[in-house]
């Protein structure tokens, strides 16, 4: 089994005349904690969308666990083991918190395995996930009854329910208080111990620096730095991108 989980080669994406991604090369190792930063409009979300299949890349390729993803739909990529949370939480609003978690279990975990999960196993897994993210008390509530951090937790729990190999957390801490950010960070750290690879996209530098063992910086659709977080943030191009000339 190769050490590389995700391999992105010469990835390119345009929106009309605007170049969103310009020949991105990136490799993510199994079990790695990768931070991805960049100013607004730098192409972070476009990159996530190209990995998860929401957008189709025009040039280059994405390989996950040795399998090319370019022709696969989003749901097929999820079933392969790529889960993501959204920048703005997108729960299934007509369903309760528990029902939200049932969906990936019914459609991803069951589809992956030849033995379908029983109702009891599904209920037990939902309970376990709710306990991990601290939403047990809200199991029967609808998303409209949740606070901002609870919504973020639901988003992460739903991604985890798909039993992923790679979790892409797209600004999971945006709008949260200092202590709430710590709560989410603790949760993300616990995933690493379960062997899940995490790509963290975040504007909160404190969170990115404390979480990431490797940092990648995108500016105007190009990767301008990749390496140890402490070294990367002192990189002249990164300083220029964030602080100006």
Partner 1 sequence: MRNSTFWIWTAVFVAVIFALSRVVTNDYFFFAAYLVLQYIVLATAWNILGGYTGYVNFGVAGFFAAGAYCSVVLHKIWGPPIPVLILVGGVVAGLIGLCMGYLTLRIRGVFFGIATLALAIVIQTFITNWDYVGGSRGVYIIRPAQAPLVGSYIQYLYLIMLAMAGLSVAIARTIEHSTLGYGLATVRDDEQSAEASGVPTLRLKLISTTLSGALMGMAGAPLPYYVTYLDPASGFNLSYAVNAIAMPLIGGTSMWLGPVIGALLLGTIQQWATVTISSALNLLIVGALLVFFVVVAPNGILGLWEVRRRRRA
Q: Interface with partner 1 by CB under 8 A: which residues?
A: 52-54, 73-75, 78-79, 83-84, 86, 90-95, 99, 102-104, 106-108, 110-111, 158-159, 161-162
Query: Edge-to-edge strand order for the sheet containing 166-170?
Result: 82-85, 166-170, 197-201, 33-37, 214-219, 222-227
CB-nearer residue toward partner 1: 163 or 229: 163
The label of the residue with tokens 């605007």 reads: 18
Q: How far is the CB of 93 from partner 1 (least distance, A)?
A: 5
Residue 118 neighbours by CB under 8 Å, 6+ apart: none
**Nearer Cβ to partner 1 (35/53):** 53
Distance CA(130)–CA(44), nearest Å, equals: 29
Strands 166-170 and 222-227, sheet pairing: unpaired
Count of other CB atoms within 10 angstroms of residue 86: 20
What's the closest the beta carbon of residue 115 comes to partner 1, in angstroms? 15
User: Minimum CB separation from partner 1 for residue 125, in Å?
Assistant: 14
* Smallest distance from partner 1 to CB 145, Å: 12
> What minimum distance in Å lies between the beta carbon of 153 and partner 1?
15
Nearer to partner 1, 108 or 224 (CB): 108
Inter-residue contact 214 to 227 (CB < 8 Å): yes
Name which of 86 and 211 has its Cβ closer to partner 1: 86
Closer to partner 1 at the Cβ: 103 or 209? Answer: 103
Backbone angles phi, psi at 110, to 5 degrees: -65, -35
């Amino acid at each position: 089994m190769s050490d590389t989980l995700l391999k992105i080669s010469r990835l390119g994406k345009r929106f009309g005349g605007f170049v969103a991604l310009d020949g991105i090369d990136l490799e993510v190792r199994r079990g790695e904690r990768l931070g991805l930063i960049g100013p607004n409009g730098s192409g972070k979300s476009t990159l996530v969308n190209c990995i998860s299949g929401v957008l189709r890349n025009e040039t280059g390729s994405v390989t996950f666990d040795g399998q090319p993803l370019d022709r696969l739909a989003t749901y097929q990529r999820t079933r392969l083991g790529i889960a993501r949370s959204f920048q703005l939480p997108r729960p299934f609003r007509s369903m309760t918190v528990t029902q939200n978690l049932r969906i990936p279990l019914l459609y991803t975990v069951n589809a992956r395995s030849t033995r379908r999960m029983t109702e009891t196993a599904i209920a037990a897994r939902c309970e376990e996930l709710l306990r991990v993210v601290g939403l047990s008390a809200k199991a029967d509530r609808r998303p409209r009854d949740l606070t901002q951090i609870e919504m973020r937790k639901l988003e992460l729990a739903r991604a985890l329910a798909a039993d992923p190999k790679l979790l892409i957390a797209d600004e999971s801490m945006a709008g949260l208080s200092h202590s709430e950010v710590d709560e989410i960070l603790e949760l993300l750290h616990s995933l690493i111990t379960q062997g899940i690879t995490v790509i963290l996209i975040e504007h909160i530098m404190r969170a990115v620096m404390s979480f990431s063992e490797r940092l990648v910086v995108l500016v105007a659709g190009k990767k301008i730095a990749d390496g140890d977080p402490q070294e990367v943030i002192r990189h002249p191009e990164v300083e220029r991108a964030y602080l100006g000339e």
